[in-house]
Each structure stands twice: as structure tokens, then as C-alpha cells.
């Protein structure tokens, strides 16, 4: 259901007009990133394709620094932080997902997509998701 909703919203936002160097154009990349996360969680195919699409969008929109100040990316980084905390990781203020203006979006995406599958496997193996 989450993938279908993200695909619908992505189709909607793709039809919107944004000016050159608009932050709105950059925000389009969040939806394929959500799809990549959801496909990774569900161990479905095409997660990498969704992440690749997000990467292309971020790069073409100017590859801003990741900002946790707007809703889409705040939710994407918050999810990753919660996964790490569920594994007992200390998520300090210096962690990439904690920084209000962190690395570029493409660097963030690569950081997360390299680690998320293993973190999800670890959560599955521990049999519970300890939330603080």
C-alpha cells in the first residue's frame, strides 16, 4: 500500500511545474527514495531502480544538502534513525541522519542504501524492534 501511495504522489508531483533551481523540483526525489525504502523493507525487486531514480532527480535538481527541515526528508531520515536506534545504536548529534543540513542528497542516499538492508536483516534476526 505504501509503495502504491508513493507512486501516486510521485506521478502527481511529476506533473507540477517548478522554476529553475526550485526546491520543489528537488523534493520530487523523495518519493522514489520512499519507494526504494519500502521495496527494501519488503525485500521486493526494483528497490535499487527506485534509489537510482531518486539519485538522478537529486542530481539534476542541484544535489542540495539533505535537509531534515521539510516533511519528506525529515521522514526519510527519521525512519533510518529509528532503525538504527532499534538495533541499539547510539545516534548522536553528529550522525548523518541527525544533522539539520547534512551531506548532499546523493551522498546521503548512497550511505543509507548501503546500510539499510543489513540493518533490516539485523532487526529481523533480533526478533524485536526496541523503541525508546
User: How does pLDDT run across 41-85, given as a tens digit for each residue?
Assistant: 998 989 999 999 999 999 988 877 776 556 888 888 889 988 988
- Chain CA centroid to CA 93, Å: 19
Three cell numbers, residue 86:
532499534
What is the maximal distance between C-alpha atoms in the chain?
A: 47
**What's this model's pTM, rounded to 2 decimal places?**
0.85
Position 128 scores a pLDDT of 82
Is the pLDDT score of 106 beyond 60?
yes
- Chain CA centroid to CA 74, Å: 9
18 or 76, which is more confident? 76
Backbone angles phi, psi at 102, to 5 degrees: -100, -145
Q: Which helix (H) or strand (E) holds 66?
A: strand 65-67
**Of 91, 115, 103, 35, whose CA–CA distance to 64 is shortest?**
103
Is the pLDDT score of 98 beyond 90?
no
CB 77 within 8 A of CB 68: yes
Amino acid at each position: 500500500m505504501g509503495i502504491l501511495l508513493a507512486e501516486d504522489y510521485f506521478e502527481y508531483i511529476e506533473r507540477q511545474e517548478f522554476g529553475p533551481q526550485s526546491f520543489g523540483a528537488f523534493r520530487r526525489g523523495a518519493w522514489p527514495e520512499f519507494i526504494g525504502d519500502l521495496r527494501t523493507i519488503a525485500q521486493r525487486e526494483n528497490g535499487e531502480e527506485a534509489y537510482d531514480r531518486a539519485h538522478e532527480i537529486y542530481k539534476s535538481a542541484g544535489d542540495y544538502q539533505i535537509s531534515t527541515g521539510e516533511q519528506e526528508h525529515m521522514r526519510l531520515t527519521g525512519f533510518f534513525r529509528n532503525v538504527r536506534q532499534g538495533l541499539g545504536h547510539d545516534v548522536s548529534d553528529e550522525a548523518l541522519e541527525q544533522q539539520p543540513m547534512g551531506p548532499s542528497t546523493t551522498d546521503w542516499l548512497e550511505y543509507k542504501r548501503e546500510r539499510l538492508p543489513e540493518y533490516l536483516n539485523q532487526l529481523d534476526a533480533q526478533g524485536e524492534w526496541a523503541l525508546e
